[in-house]
Structure 1
Amino acid sequence: MIAIVNPELDRYVHDHSEPPPALLDELREFTLAHEPRAVMQVGRVEGSLLRMLVALMQARRVLEIGTFTGYSALSMAEALPPDGELITCDRDPEVVRIARSFFDRSEHGGKIRIALGDALATLRAMPASPAFDLVFIDADKERYPAYYEEALPRLRRGGLIVADNTLWSGEVLAPESADGRAIAAFNDLVFRDPRVEKVMLTVRDGVTLARKR
């Protein structure tokens, strides 16, 4: 595994980015204390990036694939207008319970709708209209290509797909694990896709932005 960013620089970036509201800090600490898979939680800087992308796009409808304990969903919901909607998908009722408890305490929680169940089945049941402005993919890595192909027709022209973990701790350079190979294959798929403009960022564990042409 490779450290994508020097830890001292990572701390510097953290300290020079917009701090989140207190409730998000509380959610982060709760997840670290009570959830064995806390490493799956998006970082504070990435949460701020997601919030800013939603704001810059003036997004009204957001789809998230992979809720976990809700940090990313709550970050994005803050930037939605009062009548905006964020649908977040997860199949784990325990993490959804945690996420819901924090959504209920936020003034932005009413914008969030949780779809509990298999995310791919949820996606396939969704109509193409109304379209989403932004889709955030952060779930099981082997199904990234399937999520992407289902999400793209449901995304408006000029809309954005944001995919997390696209450097997979550097393993994409020489993939050995099933997840590493899946992410590398996904990266190649997006890179070769003429339907989108794309850029890969070295934020945390890699974030890819794909804008629908």
Structure 2
Amino acid sequence: MASNGENGRHQEVGHKSLLQSDALYQYILETSVYPREPEAMKELREITAKHPWNLMTTSADEGQFLNMLLKLINAKNTMEIGVFTGYSLLATAMALPDDGKILAMDINRDNYEIGLPVIEKAGLAHKIEFREGPALPVLDQMIEDGKYHGSYDFIFVDADKDNYLNYHKRLIDLVKVGGLIGYDNTLWNGSVVAPPDAPLRKYVRYYRDFVLELNKALAADPRIEICQLPVGDGITLCRRIS
């Protein structure tokens, strides 16, 4: 997984750290992450590496972090918005008790089905309820139903960045007091501090303003405590306090 020089920095699959040194990130992966990565996660990571959109996957160090975090908070009822091939979903499923549940939503079932055989082989598919399609209508329906208020221990969001604030408005209602929402990519390839004339890839530039807006809104939201971590492409944890 060595990087191919300065131009290739942070471009390859699973290589999403914002650490200044590629060698240092490689050290973390090779010393602490890969030796402890479960066989199923390694298999799924290697399958996903062949996908043309492999940059969308959760990095291995972030998968390890999520897995431990979920165990620390004894999460049982969780949700994931944005699944792709299911690497973070697998990390979550492995952390949950046998009767744990994940409501997983993505607009593309085909990608999810790339990882599904690995999840099934690991004996974890029974924990997952996958729904294909946009998440917002599902969330609205859940809020309307009334019985899902404060019912989630953990919610992970790694989907369309332009809707992060729309998700937040709803998820704050669905996560329990003391529960966590994790927003992925909140440092957005480092572009959050890029000068206005920086040569950014089109999609990075397009979503940057939404990420900046989200970060500002989360910092000002009195209903949560937050912690932004430079793991992967940046993850912001929000603990609901009211």
Aligned residues: CA RMSD: 1.7
Find the counterpart in structure 2 of residue 199 from structure 1: 227
Provide the C-alpha distance between the structure 2 equivalents of 1:200 and 1:21, rounded to a whole number of angstroms: 26
Query: What is the rounded CA distance, in whole Å, between the counterparts of 2:27 and 2:185 in structure 1?
Result: 21
In 2: Cα distance, 1:90 partner to 1:182 partner: 20
Aligned position for 1:4: 18
Q: CA deviation at 1:130?
A: 6.2
Of 132, 157, 181, which residue of structure 1 is paired with 2:177? 157
**Contact 1:175–1:184, Cα closer than 8 Å, also in 2:** no
Deviations 1:115-146 (A, max 9, x none): 11111122222243461000101001111111
- The alignment partner of 1:104 has SS state of helix
Which position in structure 2 is the counterpart of 1:93? 109
Compare CA radii of gyration and give the structure with the larger one: 2
From 28, 40, 43, give the equivalent of 2:56.
40
Moved more, 84-93 or 129-138: 129-138
Contact conserved, 1:137 with 1:164, CA < 8 A, in 2?
yes
Q: State the match for 1:135 in structure 2.
A: 155
Task: Name the SS of the counterpart of 1:160 in structure 2.
Answer: strand
Structure-1-length-normalised TM-score? 0.94
Shift of 1:14: 1.4
Secondary structure, counterpart of 1:62 in structure 2: strand
Q: Is the 8 A contact 2:184 2:234 kept in 1?
A: yes
| Cα gap change, 1:181 to 1:137, in 2 (>3 Å) | same
> What CA distance in whole angstroms lies between the structure 1 residues aligned with 2:195 and 2:166?
20
Cα distance in 1, alignment partners of residues 96 and 140 from structure 2: 24
* 1-structure distance, mates of 2:22, 2:213: 28
Runs of 4+ in 1 over 6 A off after TM superposition: none
Instruction: Identify unmatched segments of 5+ residues in structure 2.
Output: 1-8, 11-16, 197-204
The range that moved more, 159-168 or 110-119, is 110-119
1:72 aligns with 2:88: yes
Aligned mates of 1:141, 1:97 — CA distance in 2 = 23
CA contact (8 A) 2:40 2:119 kept: no
Cα offsets for 1:120-173 (capped at 9, x unmatched): 122222243461000101001111111111111000000001111000011111
Q: Which stretch shifts more, 121-130 or 81-90?
A: 121-130
Aligned 1:105-120 pairs, distance under 5 A? 105-120=121-136
* Aligned amino acid, residue 23 of structure 1: A
Between the two proteins, the alignment pairs up a number of residues equal to: 212
The question of 1:182 aligning with 2:210 is answered yes
Which amino acid counterpart does residue 61 of structure 1 have in structure 2?
N
Shift of 1:175: 7.4
- Per the TM alignment, residue 66 of structure 1 is displaced from its structure 2 partner at its CA by 0.3
Matched, 1:13 2:33: no
- How far 1:79 moved relative to its partner? 0.9
Contact 1:93 1:116 in 2 (8 A): yes
Q: Which runs of 5+ in 1 are unaligned?
A: none
Q: Distance in 2 between matches of 1:166 and 1:94?
A: 26
**TM score, norm. by length of structure 2:** 0.83
Corresponding residue SS for 2:32: coil
The residue aligned with 2:3 is none
How far did residue 67 of structure 1 move?
0.6
CA contact (8 A) 1:89 1:122 kept: no
Local SS of the residue matching 1:86: strand
